Structures are given as C-alpha cells and as structure tokens.
Amino acid sequence: MKKLLFTGLMVISLSAIGQNDDFSWITGRWVGPGFGGMFEEVWSEPDVNGDVMGMFRYADSAGAVQFYEFWVLDETGMKLRHFNPNFTAWEEKTEFIDFTMVSTSDKKITLKGLTYELVAEDQLEIQLKMKRGDKVTTEVFNLKRLSE
C-alpha cells in the first residue's frame, strides 16, 4: 500500500513539473496591429483560483470596431465568445470556443491552436492557428503592454 501511495504521489508530482499556472505575467492592457487594423486586449489579475478573464476588441484601419471577444483562462484552457459591435454573439447562447490547455511556463501559455508568449517585459507574441477551407495557417501578432 505504501509503495502504491508513493508511486501515485510521484506521478502527481512529475505531472506538475513544467506546468506553471500563474497567469499574472499577462495581466494588463496590450495593443498592436493585426488584420489591417488594431488589436486591444485587457487581462485581469488572477482571482483566488488563479483564473483570469480577458476582453479583446478589433478596430479596422478607420478605427471602427468590427468585433469583441470575452474569455476566461484557467488551468484547463480558455473559453471564449465573440460579439458583433452591437453586442450580439457569434456563437449560440450555450456555445463557446474552447482552446484546450497544452502547457504553461512562467512566460508562455500554449493552448491547442493558440499561444501567448512574453518575449520581452512589454512585448507579447500571439500565435493563432486559423483554418480557411482545408488550409491551416498561423497568424502572428505582436502586442505591446501599455503602462497605466
């Protein structure tokens, strides 16, 4: 029994190695170019469970908002919904986009299809896999943290 318990604890301990669910490094307001316009992301401080919420808006080159996103990030991944400028949802009422967690470190969050990496203290690189027809491409966005 002791051997089984010890083995179980070792498996739990080893599975936690390399996984850092402290998302506080991404907190703040980030802006940068994307899709011919401007991106803006705002990430909250982690709550008591370590979860963070975020919001996004995309404005075209004329400054007109084209869509919004709202999400929650936790140790299982990110759940996200899109909204039109008039705040009608793209997804059905009970549906959302689910980016499953792959791994985390002190400066990187890798989700299935989406990666956030802090490449400098005030620079965030986002890699988003997008499917268009049968082709999958990776879009890369570079955002800068704005000071408060």
Q: Is residue 95 part of a domain?
A: yes
Cα(8)–Cα(86) distance, integer angstroms: 51
The half-sphere exposure of 17 on its side-chain side, counting CA atoms within 13 A, is 5
Among the residue ranges 12-16, 53-57, 71-75, 120-124, the one predicted with the least confidence is: 12-16
Quick check: is 2 in a domain?
Answer: no
Contacts of 107 (CB under 8 A, 6+ apart): 25, 117, 118
pLDDT band at 19 (very low <50, low <70, confident <90, very high): low
Q: Is 86 a domain residue?
A: yes
Tens of pLDDT, residue by residue over 100-147, are 999 999 999 999 999 999 999 999 999 999 999 999 999 999 999 998
Domain assignment of residue 7, yes or no: no
The answer to whether residue 110 sits within a structural domain is yes
Does 74 reside within a domain?
yes
Q: Reply yes or no on whether the pLDDT at 18 is more than 80.
A: no
pLDDT value at position 20?
56
Query: What average pLDDT does the structure give for the chain?
Result: 89
Residue 25 lies in a domain: yes
Provide the domain count of the chain: 1
Split at pLDDT 50, 70, 90, the class of 21 is confident
Range of the domain at 123: 20-146
Average pLDDT over residues 84-113: 96
What per-residue confidence (pLDDT) applies to 147? 84
Q: Is residue 97 domain-resident?
A: yes
Check which CATH number belongs to the domain holding 97 and give it.
2.40.128.20
Residue keyed to tokens 């992301």: 41
pTM above 0.75, yes or no: yes
Q: How many CA atoms lie within 13 A of 117 on its CB side?
A: 10
- Categorize the per-residue pLDDT at 14 as very low, low, confident or very high, splitting at 50, 70 and 90: very low
